[in-house]
Amino acid sequence: MANYSRLWDLTRGTKWTKKELAVAAVGLILISFFLSLLSDSSASTKLDRNIPNTYHFPLQSDYVDLTLLRNAKDKGAFCLDGTVPGYHFQKGVGSGSNNWLLHIEGGGWCDTIESCSLRKTTALGSSNHMERQARFYGILSHDPKQNPDFFNWNKVKVCYCDGASFAGHPESEFNNGTNLFFRGQLIWEALMDELLSLGMTHAKQALLSGCSAGGLATMIHCDEFGEIFPKDTLVKCLADGSFFLDEKDVSGAFTMRKLYQNVVHLQGVAKSLPKECVSKMEPSECLFPRELTKSIKTPIFLVNSAYDFWQIQNVLVPAAPDPHGNWLKCRLNIHYCNPSEIEVLHGFRDSLLKALSEFEKNKGGMFINSCFLHCQTWWEAWHGPNSPKIDNKTIAEAVGDWYFNRGMVKRIDCRFPCNPSCLNRDFTQG
């Protein structure tokens, strides 16, 4: 998620009329909505809870260099703008040298020629703009205090640059001078080939994870990932902040459904979705996790907030249905929601739990808290003294218990604001 504090900085030191304030509020909503489609959660945004100063200052060893896919050109695997995709790889050590953890970054989707053309000028569409070094923390940390179960594994941060959760196909590309490449599926296949050549073929244990749009990619490719290993390899998947709902927004429109319909049509995503599902219903319906998870055979764990701020800001209360900014304060800080707005949010939680009911019956794991957060596995929320907990378990502990079959695997929080351990995001602070 983009750093919204920069937007609020623009208003400081300026006197506004009431009319100008109303216009500015709507403008901020529109800008924030677009930015939220380009990127996901950032740990730099303010939290609404004062916590002890236990912040882990990054060391040079926390940063990992960008590697461009060596075999990409031969396989036709390109980012939206035609550049070579990339990833960040940190080699495992000791007991973790034969174990692999992959984490796919998030960043929304592009569903039109215009939005994809704009996206290709960013790191989410071009390796020319990707950070040359990425900080590994949370689930990617090499510090056992932050990442007790996976700290010494081979770890890969997969850069996201195709705009369709690694599920686009070149047959859908336009030959009209747009110069857009829809190669998500080919990027995925080329990446797997390269990682296998780097030693992943010898993995004893493997975990595919992802956040937001990257978590959706994890669901799409979970079984493919499992199939590349020998049968005696322990393979599981983890999807964080990615159980997107096909729900009406506050105006009664299906905003998320329309977005997915456009993405599937534009990039030919149906070819990467479960064939059984696509044969029974409109392909875009099969992109929603409620349907996707029905066909996944590889064990999968879901981390999600029942009050996920990305879904509240983009699925339940997107900018367009709220032109007067009635929901503005609530969208930016859940503590500013009035009683009627809180009831709407509770209803959204109920819809999430209902959508999860079938998944809950199978062997999958879940950690569903009530924090105003999105993407909780790749920063300090993952594990630590100030991390959100359910039944006194952090996300890392719950995932570890599930992965290694140590204990209870399904944890669902009570309704907001019941959990004092929550780190709720506050977008109103500079």
Active site residues: 212, 308, 374
Q: Sign of torsion, CA 352 354 357 359?
A: negative
φ, ψ at 190 (rounded to 5°):
-65, -40
Q: SS3 of 360, please?
A: helix
Exposure on the CB side of residue 4, measured as CA atoms within 13 A: 26
Residue where the block lists tokens 């080699």: 91
89 strand-pairing partners: 156
**What burial class does residue 96 get, using C-beta atoms within 10 Å of its C-beta: 0-12 exposed, 13-18 middle, 19+ buried?**
buried
- Give residue for tokens 């924030």: 32
Give first-to-last CA distance, the chain, whole Å: 15
Q: DSSP letter string over 174-224?
A: --SS------HHHHHHHHHHHHHHTTGGG-SEEEEEEETHHHHHHHHHHHH
**Gap between the Cα atoms of 394 and 347, Å rounded:** 26
Q: Which residues contact 136 (CB under 8 A, 6 or more apart)?
A: 62, 63, 64, 88, 90, 142, 155, 157
Closest among 237, 338, 355, 226 to 288, alpha carbons compared: 355
DSSP string, 312-348: IIIIIS-STT-TT-TTHHHHH-GGG--HHHHHHHHHH
